[in-house]
Chain A
Amino acid sequence: MAEETVDQKRLVVSTSPHIHDKKNTKKVMYVVCLALLLPIIGGVYFFGIYTLLVVLVSVITAITTEFLAKRLRKREFIMDGSAIVTGMLFALVLPPRIPLWAVIIGAAFCIAIVKEAFGGLGHNIFNPALAGRAFITVSFAGLMTSWIAPVKSVISLDSITSATPLGEGFSYAGSTSDLYIDLLFGNVGGCIGETSALFILIGGLLLLATGVIKWRIPVVYIGTVFLLAWLIPGQDPVFHILAGGLFLGAFFMATDYVTCPMTAKGQFIFAFGAGVLVILIRVYGSMPEGVAFSILLMNAFTPLIDRHVKPKPYGYIPPEKKSRFPLKKKAKTTDVADKPDQDSSTDKKEGKK
């Protein structure tokens, strides 16, 4: 036990500063849940009541897995809402007619492997919902690439196969502006929650208004995609930002406190990199959609980005060589004490350039 408390002390210093207070975490998580309700309602409207079942199964599995994992680790289970958020987000990035057993496997993977095996909330390296989605995509490639056209009836269980706007073989009959409007409202094939850009935008604005997220990551991320699509000949920038899961990823996934960099500059690099990757994957890669993979890849780079924009970036030759990797507790405390100073000084230096 003594060792574990030491670990927790370290944690407060090392990971993002947003989550040291339990009450705060809870509040934040429930605001996110609230913001996610709108895309879920949209999903149910466009793809039928079955999608609500998918969301429920996903959330219940996530909570159960979290409970079991805590039991295995002999830790107290706290209902902080993070499992609900993960469950909801995971459901939102699934195809509308995914079998429920696949939802269970995926949601359990999100919590057990991607979150709890890394230490639980605040310690995970990758965004659980996206990692779970990627895992299910690789496992059951067939299931994850069968899309249906919107049925626009809550009770319907119909499924007319259709391609997604970004997928190969998608052809749109109407004019470009009609396409934009359909994309905006979500009247196209795609994942449960990622088709309607407008609903996600409203949810995202709620998060911004309540201060749960900052504008930087979504704006830079979407902006980069828009700009690059505009620069590459033959690509439609408006289409690229409205289609697929860019809005959902930008507002709800990339902004995850735990898996994105801590500093403003780091977040800028993170969002820019993710934007570049989205375009690379969509235009040159073999997958139609790249939002999930772009965020996962940038999650992997987050520790390196954090190092680079932190007071003692890699590559600088620090005067006191031994504390270059301050892993010991004592070294840590001094590190924190002089952090703000150095941070601003490096920022200024970069700004002058």
Chain B
Amino acid sequence: MSKTNFRADIVPILFLTVVVCISVIALAYVDSITYEKIETAKLEAFKEKLSVHFSDMTDFTSNDANDCYVVFTDNNTIGYAVKTIGSGYGGTIEMLVALEPTNLSSTDDLILRGLSVISHSETPGLGDKITQSFFLDQFQEVSFSGIELSKTGGDIDAISGATISSKAVINGIVSSIEDRFDSLVELVSSVEVS
């Protein structure tokens, strides 16, 4: 009796355990090879996004939440960047706002250096025009208070036929920067101290 029980019950479990162990070992091995690569690939991709706005950058540092950045050239601060999120037509629009290195007493002092879209899911042929330069270039050298549709007195012209996406970009920038302004200030001051 006990023998059949062993065969019927224990062997399958042992077998499954062995398979799981092999699987874990194999994955741990693959992970050890690829981990560094994946991290550097992510970092490189992000650096490329930043260098669009800061062509002479050599390095950057970010805060813990990884949404505010200070950009350097040989230890000189040349600007800041903030990741912003807008809620568009088909989902969230993730953007990177590059800022001039102004003094940071309030959000009114901020001047945008440029804007790029990291990811979005807007409608092709319409909303996805937010990634085109004719729209994005409007965000160069604009003060924070000017980030508003020209219809309501701001500096940004909406894309015709895609007002929702245009508004989403603007609302995303404004609300995210207001949310993250304190952590940006904190990051900048910590960088200056060190």
B164: chain A residues within 8 A (beta carbon): 286
The 0/1 profile, CB within 8 Å of A marked 1, for residues 40-65 of chain B is 00000000000000000000000000
For A171, the closest partner residue in chain B by CB is: B151
A168: chain B residues within 8 A (beta carbon): 158, 163
Residue tally, chain B, CB below 8 Å to A: 10
Which of A57-65, A139-147, A200-208 has 4 or more CB atoms under 8 Å from chain B? Answer: A139-147
B151: chain A residues within 8 A (beta carbon): 169
Whether B161 and A142, one on each chain, are in contact in the complex, defined by CB atoms closer than 8 angstroms, is: yes
Whether A146 and B89, one on each chain, are in contact in the complex, defined by CB atoms closer than 8 angstroms, is: no
> What is the CB-to-nearest-CB distance from B152 to chain A, in angstroms, rounded to a whole number?
11
CA distance A142 to B132 in the complex (A): 15
The 0/1 profile, CB within 8 Å of B marked 1, for residues 135-160 of chain A is 00010111001100000000000000
CA distance A146 to B162 in the complex (A): 11
Give the contact-size bracket for chain A. Answer: under 10
Whether A141 and B125, one on each chain, are in contact in the complex, defined by CB atoms closer than 8 angstroms, is: yes
Q: Is B126 an interface residue (CB 8 A)?
A: yes
> What is the CB-to-nearest-CB distance from A339 to chain B, in angstroms, rounded to a whole number?
44
CA distance A286 to B89 in the complex (A): 7
Interface residues of B in 116-162 (CB under 8 A from A): 123, 125-126, 151, 158, 160-161
> What is the CB-to-nearest-CB distance from B160 to chain A, in angstroms, rounded to a whole number?
7
CA distance A146 to B126 in the complex (A): 12
For B128, the closest partner residue in chain A by CB is: A141
Question: Taking each of B89, B151, B160, B164, which has the highest tally of chain A beta carbons within 10 Å of its own beta carbon?
Answer: B160
CA distance A141 to B151 in the complex (A): 22
Given A140-B125, A169-B151, does the pair A145, B89 have CB atoms closer than 8 Å?
no
A286: chain B residues within 8 A (beta carbon): 89, 164
The 0/1 profile, CB within 8 Å of B marked 1, for residues 319-334 of chain A is 0000000000000000
Whether A169 and B163, one on each chain, are in contact in the complex, defined by CB atoms closer than 8 angstroms, is: yes
For B168, the closest partner residue in chain A by CB is: A286
For B164, the closest partner residue in chain A by CB is: A286
> What is the CB-to-nearest-CB distance from A96 to chain B, in angstroms, rounded to a whole number?
16
Whether A142 and B126, one on each chain, are in contact in the complex, defined by CB atoms closer than 8 angstroms, is: yes
CA distance A141 to B163 in the complex (A): 13
B123: chain A residues within 8 A (beta carbon): 138, 141
Given A168-B163, A169-B163, does the pair A141, B126 have CB atoms closer than 8 Å?
yes
CA distance A194 to B28 in the complex (A): 64
CA distance A276 to B126 in the complex (A): 27
CA distance A346 to B29 in the complex (A): 67
Whether A145 and B163, one on each chain, are in contact in the complex, defined by CB atoms closer than 8 angstroms, is: no
Q: Which of B125, B158, B161, B163 is A146 in contact with, Cβ under 8 Å?
A: B161
> What is the CB-to-nearest-CB distance from A143 to chain B, in angstroms, rounded to a whole number?
10
> What is the CB-to-nearest-CB distance from B157 to chain A, in angstroms, rounded to a whole number?
11
CA distance A168 to B164 in the complex (A): 9
Interface residues of A in 107-160 (CB under 8 A from B): 138, 140-142, 145-146
Between-chain CB contacts (< 8 Å), 7 pairs = A141-B161, A142-B125, A142-B126, A146-B160, A169-B151, A169-B158, A286-B89
Residues of B within 8 A of A (CB): 89, 123, 125-126, 151, 158, 160-161, 163-164
* Further pairs besides A141-B126, A141-B161, A286-B89: 8, Cβ < 8 Å: A140-B125, A141-B125, A142-B125, A142-B126, A142-B161, A145-B161, A146-B160, A169-B158
The 8 nearest A-B residue pairs measured at CB:
A145-B161, A286-B164, A141-B126, A168-B163, A141-B125, A286-B89, A169-B151, A142-B125
